């Protein structure tokens, strides 16, 4: 980035010098005034380049695990051996973790939705002695009241899916920034800021580079300290109903699709000749002493906060900082247009 910015600065300086000489040759005071003004503005633009490099090196040197230790937080577990737990790694780790958390919430909501759909299809036809002489009888549907829960799980599934896609979108934006593509705007901003009628656009490009490369990862790194957002509300150790079997982790049980799909005649209580009552059928799909309905709602709510709300706050803080950084260069920008650009 620095060589490209240097080339841009040299090209801009050459244009300013050429315009200054042409202004003297033609005795044009407007060109001379413009050249003198841009001769001062060019070092200001280059100072932003060195500022970004300075802060970027500081972000790479800060160990987020040391910061977490100050607040009594456990260290971040490295997904890649040998990786450095700097600000950028902490921000990326937060977005990856929020995407994984949202995916788990989506699977758990789908599990409950599938079970409620199965239960709602259960019905029993009862025929007393006199129904042999006609078609009179009674049909019972023991789980008819579960239609509301089915709709709730559909809503939760859509919310978790939105959270998952939002986390992936935020991760895509961050990887775009982390790989340095956003810094391509910086040399363009240095050059365009000294061109006639393009000072505002050049200032916006410089401010965008600074905000997304500094403010965005720093905000996400701060949010990575909020470990409580990723704590699932399900019990971690529930005794198995089968004697001698190990205890269950409720979250892991719901994430296992085999507990719904792939059942056959060898599965206990689901053989073709078995007659199950409502409680037995319920216990087949929820053998962990309950449906955990409210825990599922809480889990999806945590996923929405972690994957949608907090990354959106980070993005809004980044966009808002563009306006204040652009003021450093003496230009006022339209924040609504910046939002549309992002």
String of DSSP letters for 182-230: GGGHHHHHHHHTTSTT-HHHHHHHHHHHHIIIIIHHHHHHHHTT-GGGG
The arithmetic mean of pLDDT across residues 35-44, rounded, is 67
Confidence of residue 157 (pLDDT cuts 50, 70, 90): very high
CA-to-CA distance for 168 and 182, rounded, in angstroms?
Answer: 18
Percent of the chain that is helix, strand, coil (3-state, to 5)? 70, 0, 30
CA-to-CA distance for 115 and 284, rounded, in angstroms?
Answer: 10
Confidence of residue 140 (pLDDT cuts 50, 70, 90): low
Tell me, what's the pLDDT at 177? 84
For 74-109, how does the pLDDT look when each residue is reduced to its tens digit (9 = 90+)?
A: 667 666 666 677 888 888 888 998 999 999 999 999
- Counting the structural domains of the chain, the total is 1
- For residue 139, the cross-strand partners are 125
Q: Is residue 202 part of a domain?
A: yes
What range defines the domain where residue 177 resides? 2-234+292-341
Tell me, what's the pLDDT at 304? 93
Confidence of residue 187 (pLDDT cuts 50, 70, 90): confident
Q: Is residue 240 part of a domain?
A: no
Distance in Å from the first CA to the final CA of the chain: 22
Q: Is residue 127 part of a domain?
A: yes
Question: Residue 138 pLDDT > 80, yes or no?
Answer: no
Tell me, what's the pLDDT at 81? 62
Tell me, what's the pLDDT at 50? 73
Which is higher by pLDDT, 149 or 269?
A: 149
Which is higher by pLDDT, 225 or 44?
A: 225
% pLDDT > 70, the chain: 62
Question: Residue 275 pLDDT > 60, yes or no?
Answer: no
Tokens of 226: 């909020």
Average pLDDT of the chain, as a whole number = 74
Q: Global pTM?
A: 0.74
Tell me, what's the pLDDT at 192? 72
Question: Residue 340 pLDDT > 60, yes or no?
Answer: no
The arithmetic mean of pLDDT across residues 231-260, rounded, is 73
Tell me, what's the pLDDT at 3? 63
Q: Is residue 268 part of a domain?
A: no
105: exposed, middle or buried (Cβ count in 10 Å: 0-12, 13-18, 19+): buried
Top-ranked range on mean pLDDT: pick from 180-189, 261-270, 289-298 = 289-298
Tokens of 46: 């280059």
Tokens of 179: 């790989």
163: exposed, middle or buried (Cβ count in 10 Å: 0-12, 13-18, 19+): buried
Q: Is residue 16 part of a domain?
A: yes
Top-ranked range on mean pLDDT: pick from 124-133, 289-298, 327-336 = 289-298
Tell me, what's the pLDDT at 333? 46
CA-to-CA distance for 281 and 286, rounded, in angstroms?
Answer: 9
Q: Is residue 243 part of a domain?
A: no
Tell me, what's the pLDDT at 45? 67
Residue 159's Cβ-side half-sphere holds a number of Cα atoms within 13 Å equal to: 21
Confidence of residue 126 (pLDDT cuts 50, 70, 90): low
Confidence of residue 204 (pLDDT cuts 50, 70, 90): confident
% pLDDT > 90, the chain: 14
- The pair phi, psi for residue 279, each rounded to 5°, is -65, -35
Tell me, what's the pLDDT at 272? 43
Which is higher by pLDDT, 53 or 303?
A: 303
Cα–Cα distance list, 45 to 6, 39, 246, 330 (Å): 11, 11, 65, 11
Chain-centre distance for alpha carbon 293: 25
Residue 330's Cβ-side half-sphere holds a number of Cα atoms within 13 Å equal to: 9
- CB contact at 8 A, 207 and 51: no
Confidence of residue 271 (pLDDT cuts 50, 70, 90): very low
Q: Is residue 280 part of a domain?
A: no
User: Token pair 């490295």 is at which residue?
Assistant: 78
Residue 126 host element (H or E): strand 124-126
Q: Is residue 260 part of a domain?
A: no
DSSP designation for 235? -
Tell me, what's the pLDDT at 210? 82
Tell me, what's the pLDDT at 309? 92
């Amino acid at each position: 980035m620095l060589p490209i910015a240097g080339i841009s600065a040299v090209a801009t300086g050459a244009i300013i010098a050429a315009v200054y000489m042409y202004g003297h040759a033609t005795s044009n005071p407007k060109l001379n005034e413009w050249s003198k003004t841009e001769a001062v503005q060019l070092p200001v633009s280059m100072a932003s380049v060195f500022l970004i490099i300075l802060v970027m090196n500081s972000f790479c040197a800060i160990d987020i695990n040391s910061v977490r230790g100050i607040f009594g937080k456990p260290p971040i577990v490295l997904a890649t051996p040998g990786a450095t737990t700097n600000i950028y790694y902490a921000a990326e780790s937060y977005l990856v973790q929020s995407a994984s958390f949202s995916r788990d919430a989506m699977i758990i909501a789908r599990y409950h939705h599938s079970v409620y759909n199965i239960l709602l299809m259960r019905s029993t036809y009862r025929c007393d002695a006199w129904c042999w002489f006609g078609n009179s009888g009674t049909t019972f549907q023991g789980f008819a009241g579960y239609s509301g829960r089915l709709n709730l799980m559909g809503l939760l599934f859509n919310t978790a899916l939105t959270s998952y896609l939002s986390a992936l979108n935020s991760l895509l934006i961050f990887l775009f920034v982390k790989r340095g593509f956003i810094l391509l705007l910086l040399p363009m901003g240095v050059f365009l800021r000294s061109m006639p009628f393009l000072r505002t656009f050049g200032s916006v490009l410089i401010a965008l580079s600074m905000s997304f490369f500094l403010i965005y990862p720093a905000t996400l790194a701060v949010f990575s300290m909020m470990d409580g957002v990723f704590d699932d509300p399900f019990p971690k150790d529930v005794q198995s109903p089968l004697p001698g079997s190990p205890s269950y982790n409720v979250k892991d049980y719901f994430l296992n699709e085999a507990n719904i799909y792939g059942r056959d005649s060898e599965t206990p209580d689901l053989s073709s000749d078995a007659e199950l009552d409502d409680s037995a059928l319920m216990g087949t799909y929820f053998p962990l002493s309950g449906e955990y309905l409210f825990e599922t709602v809480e889990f999806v709510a945590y996923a929405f906060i972690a994957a949608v709300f907090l990354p959106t706050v980070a993005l809004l803080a980044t966009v808002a900082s563009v306006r204040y950084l652009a003021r450093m260069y003496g230009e006022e920008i339209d924040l609504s247009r910046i939002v549309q650009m992002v």
